[in-house]
Amino acid sequence: MTTLFEDRVDAGRVLASHLQAYAGRDDVVVLALARGGVPVAWEVARALIAELDLLVVRKLGLPGRPDLALGAIASGGARYIDPKVLVASGLSPQQLEEIVETQSRELARIDALYRGTRKAVRIEGRTVIVVDDGVATGASMCAALMALREAKPAWIVVAVPVAPPGAQEWIGTAADEFVCAVSPPDFRGVGSCYRDFAPVGDEKVRTLLAAS
């Protein structure tokens, strides 16, 4: 598959060009999924002249198979569990809760680390654009959307630079709109679409949030 983006900054600029209908509106807020979505969302928020804030999501990996997503949790107590993966895993309810509890502690720590004393932006009644660096399984995005619905936004837009064909169906009615810059038929993972897909460090997240 051909590399689509130089890095997350490049991807953010490309994605922003697909979101110009939301530019300059005071009811729009851009929420970045930490950590990979932050550089992408920063470019989107800058282009749209919109507020930027953070939504922390933690993937729930299977014991011994951390690469396989059982589901995800997000700020605000939202939880998404893939029923098919759960059945196939053979995990007991107690084992599942232990995984959730461990990741919940880490989520709280990360949220405090990134946000510091910065207050969360107002969500209720606003148009929220949720940005990540791509969608693969959709687990993290589904958890994020569940958390957002509790905050009563007027409209939710999921915006990503790249996703596999059919990704919009996974998101379903959890979002009101799905915007994807590129959806390659030979999709083999989000990382393979970037020339530079190095991990985004904690300090980078803090710096971009402060700069917003």
- Cα–Cα dist 120/141, whole Å: 19
Report the 10 Å Cβ neighbour count for 165.
Answer: 12
Query: Quick one: pLDDT at residue 84?
Result: 87
**If residue 65 lies in a helix (H) or strand (E), which one and from where to where?**
strand 65-74
Query: Quick one: pLDDT at residue 1?
Result: 59
CA-nearest of 177, 183, 147, 186 to 163 is: 183
> φ, ψ for residue 134 (rounded to 5)?
160, 165
Q: Which amino acid appears at position 212 of this protein?
A: S
Query: Quick one: pLDDT at residue 116?
Result: 81
Query: Quick one: pLDDT at residue 97?
Result: 94
- Cα–Cα dist 192/88, whole Å: 27
Query: Quick one: pLDDT at residue 82?
Result: 84
Query: Digits of tens for pLDDT over the chain (212 positions)?
Result: 578 999 999 999 999 999 999 999 999 999 999 899 999 999 999 999 999 999 888 888 888 876 677 888 888 777 888 888 899 889 999 999 999 999 999 999 998 899 888 888 899 999 999 999 999 888 778 878 987 888 899 999 999 999 999 999 888 888 999 999 999 999 999 999 999 999 999 999 999 998 87
Topology of the domain comprising 8-211 = Rossmann fold (3.40.50)
Which residue is it, tokens 């020339």? 195
DSSP string, 13-62: HHHHHT-GGGTT-TTEEEEEEETTHHHHHHHHHHHHT-EEEEEEEEEEEE
Instruction: List Cβ neighbours of 152 (8 Å cut-off, separation of 6 or more).
Output: 123, 124, 125
> φ, ψ for residue 157 (rounded to 5)?
-115, 125
Chain Cα centroid distance, residue 143: 9
Q: Is the peptide bond before 35 cis (omega within 30 degrees of 0)?
A: yes
pTM, full prediction = 0.86
Which residue is it, tokens 């009811």? 27
- Cα–Cα dist 28/128, whole Å: 6
Asked if 141 contacts 130 with a C-beta cutoff of 8 angstroms, the reply is: yes
- Cα–Cα dist 9/195, whole Å: 12
DSSP 8-state class, residue 78: E
